């Protein structure tokens, strides 16, 4: 059971709401900023293309592995305490990363940072849903997502300014300062009361199998150049997923209630569309950071400004989309967003060594508008489809679908980088980069088309049921 705060708290303590909203800024700031820093980091530490991809894939994988266990833990303890100390752990790990030069330890810390990002993803929307009246949730979710997109927008811009002066380490240091300031603010303004969970409230074997599966899939994508080894890791990862699913069917309170998803078509459809569309999200940031700097010859500052194009649009339009979701059918807005993301993926398949930077900016603008129209309406649909006691788990499922999509997109990217580069650096063979980027985008064209088709089918099904 979730400990909820009376809705009147929203009226008496709006600072609590806006504190949570503001703290959503830093984690995406760290992701997009690090993406811009990767070429410089790779050159400084002589890290290969696969290692650079793992810096982002492990971050996303850590979040994916622990989203549902943390969602369950938040429901039986105190989501507010978890939220605050997740900020603290993320800040400290960023501070440590700014001092390191050994890639294996850096990759381990990035996986741990992914775990802390799972805390924000599950507890943030659930806390907001606790304290914001239903009639205003779409607006608040829109503003919250706008803050996420603001972090994605300013991350590349700020990183582009920091790197020429302080190097890639300055990006991690800047993120650490912001995160620790966010912890201090939330610790002061956000009341919390930790409750000790019962021993059986979080099923540890299920969490272990999911984490194992994620790490095995990451290992598979990184080693696929040695075909037999990559295949072994993939098969072992698939076996771990099967074991996880079988465990869920045996539990009274599973992390993933597959039977409930079969019956609850509104939640299932929104989650499926989200999973498919988000394959495009962070893979595109990673690919375009390398493409603009290595292939098109942009500086980190120029690359950061280009990458910010789409996320600035997201930050500006997501709150408006959230308000519209309170007034009109959210599925109509989210379907329009799917269509625009599909168009942007089609545009990216025309990239080459002579692509004009204006074309890249236009592609990112279309993509940003698509995600802005999709994200907050779809989140409104997810959170509005469950009873109050299941808000944390619904939030976790939404984040899980998003993370599965993002991790899968990065795994596909990592697989192609492994095949084309191995442990060679990207800058040593820049001519191979376009041949790596284009196949990824063709895959994303297919998945975005599926997301759009599925969202249209969902609208049709909903209308048929209403008749």
Residue-wise pLDDT for 239-258, tens only, equals: 999 999 888 888 777 777 77
Note whether 359 and 425 are same-domain residues: yes
Per-residue confidence (pLDDT) for residue 238, from 0 to 100: 94
Instruction: Please indicate, yes or no, if residue 199 is contained in any of the structural domains.
Output: no
Instruction: Please indicate, yes or no, if residue 196 is contained in any of the structural domains.
Output: no
Tens digit of pLDDT for each residue in 167-216? 999 999 998 998 888 888 888 877 777 777 776 677 788 889 988 999 99
Note whether 272 and 244 are same-domain residues: no
CATH number at residue 272: 1.20.1250.20
Note whether 147 and 224 are same-domain residues: no
- Cα–Cα distance list, 150 to 57, 168, 347, 405 (Å): 22, 21, 24, 21
Residue 467 CB neighbours (<10 A): 4
Q: Are the C-beta atoms of 312 and 368 separated by less than 8 Å?
A: yes
Per-residue confidence (pLDDT) for residue 263, from 0 to 100: 67
For residues 465 and 467, give the distance between their C-alpha atoms in angstroms, rounded to a whole number. 5
Element (H, E) at 112: helix 103-131
Note whether 313 and 454 are same-domain residues: yes
Number of domains forming the structure of the chain: 2
Instruction: Please indicate, yes or no, if residue 197 is contained in any of the structural domains.
Output: no
305: left (phi over 0), alpha (psi -120 to 50) or beta: alpha
pTM (predicted TM-score): 0.77
- Residue range(s) defining the domain that contains residue 241: 207-250
Instruction: Please indicate, yes or no, if residue 78 is contained in any of the structural domains.
Output: yes
Q: Is 329 exposed, middle or buried (CB count within 10 Å of its CB: 0-12, 13-18, 19+)?
A: middle
Percentage helix, strand, coil, to 5, in the chain? 85, 0, 15
Per-residue confidence (pLDDT) for residue 1, from 0 to 100: 38
Per-residue confidence (pLDDT) for residue 346, from 0 to 100: 96
Note whether 360 and 230 are same-domain residues: no
Note whether 217 and 342 are same-domain residues: no
Note whether 310 and 376 are same-domain residues: yes
Counting as low any pLDDT under 50, the low residues of the chain are 1-12
Tens digit of pLDDT for each residue in 293-315? 989 989 988 998 898 888 778 77
Note whether 262 and 383 are same-domain residues: yes
Note whether 279 and 231 are same-domain residues: no
Per-residue confidence (pLDDT) for residue 89, from 0 to 100: 92
């Amino acid at each position: 059971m979730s400990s909820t705060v009376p809705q009147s708290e929203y009226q008496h303590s709006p600072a609590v709401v806006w504190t949570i909203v503001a703290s959503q800024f830093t984690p995406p700031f760290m992701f997009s900023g690090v993406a811009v820093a990767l070429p410089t980091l790779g050159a400084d530490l002589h890290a290969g293309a696969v290692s650079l991809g793992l810096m982002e894939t492990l971050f996303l994988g850590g979040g994916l592995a622990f989203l549902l266990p943390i969602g369950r833990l938040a429901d039986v303890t105190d989501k507010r305490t978890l939220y605050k100390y997740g900020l603290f752990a993320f800040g400290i790990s960023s501070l440590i990363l700014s001092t390191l030069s050994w890639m294996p330890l850096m990759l381990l810390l990035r996986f741990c940072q992914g775990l802390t990002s799972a805390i924000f993803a599950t507890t943030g929307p659930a806390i907001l849903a606790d304290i914001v009246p239903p009639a205003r949730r779409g607006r608040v979710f829109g503003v919250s997502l706008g803050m996420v997109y603001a972090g994605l927008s300013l991350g590349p811009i700020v990183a582009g300014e920091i790197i020429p002066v302080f190097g890639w380490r300055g990006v991690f240091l800047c993120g650490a300062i912001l995160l620790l300031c966010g912890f201090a603010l939330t610790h002061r303004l956000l009341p919390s009361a930790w409750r000790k969970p019962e021993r059986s409230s979080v099923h540890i074997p299920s969490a272990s199998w999911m984490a194992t599966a994620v790490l095995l899939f990451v290992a598979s994508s990184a080693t696929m150049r040695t075909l037999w080894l990559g295949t072994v890791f993939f098969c072992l990862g698939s076996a771990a997923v099967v074991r996880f699913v079988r465990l869920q069917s045996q539990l009274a309170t599973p992390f993933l209630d597959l039977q409930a998803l079969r019956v609850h078509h509104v939640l299932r459809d929104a989650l499926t569309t989200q999973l498919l569309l988000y394959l495009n999200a962070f893979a595109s940031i990673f690919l375009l950071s390398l493409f603009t700097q290595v292939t098109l010859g942009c500086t980190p500052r120029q690359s950061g400004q280009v990458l910010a194009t789409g996320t600035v649009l997201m930050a500006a339009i997501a709150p408006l989309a959230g308000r519209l979701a309170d007034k009109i059918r959210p599925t109509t807005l989210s379907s329009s967003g799917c269509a625009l993301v599909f168009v942007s993926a089609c545009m990216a398949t025309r990239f080459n060594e002579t692509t004009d930077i204006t074309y890249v900016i236009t592609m990112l603008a279309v993509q940003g508008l698509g995600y802005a129209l999709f994200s907050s309406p779809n989140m409104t649909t997810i959170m509005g489809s469950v009873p109050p006691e299941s808000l944390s788990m619904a939030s976790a499922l939404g984040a899980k679908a998003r993370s599965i999509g993002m991790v899968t997109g990065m795994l596909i990217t990592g697989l192609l980088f492994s095949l084309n580069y191995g442990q060679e650096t990207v800058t040593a063979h820049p001519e191979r980069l376009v041949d790596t980027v284009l196949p990824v985008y063709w895959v994303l064209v297919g998945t975005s088309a599926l997301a759009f088709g599925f969202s249209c089918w969902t609208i049709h099904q909903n209308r048929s049921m209403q008749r």
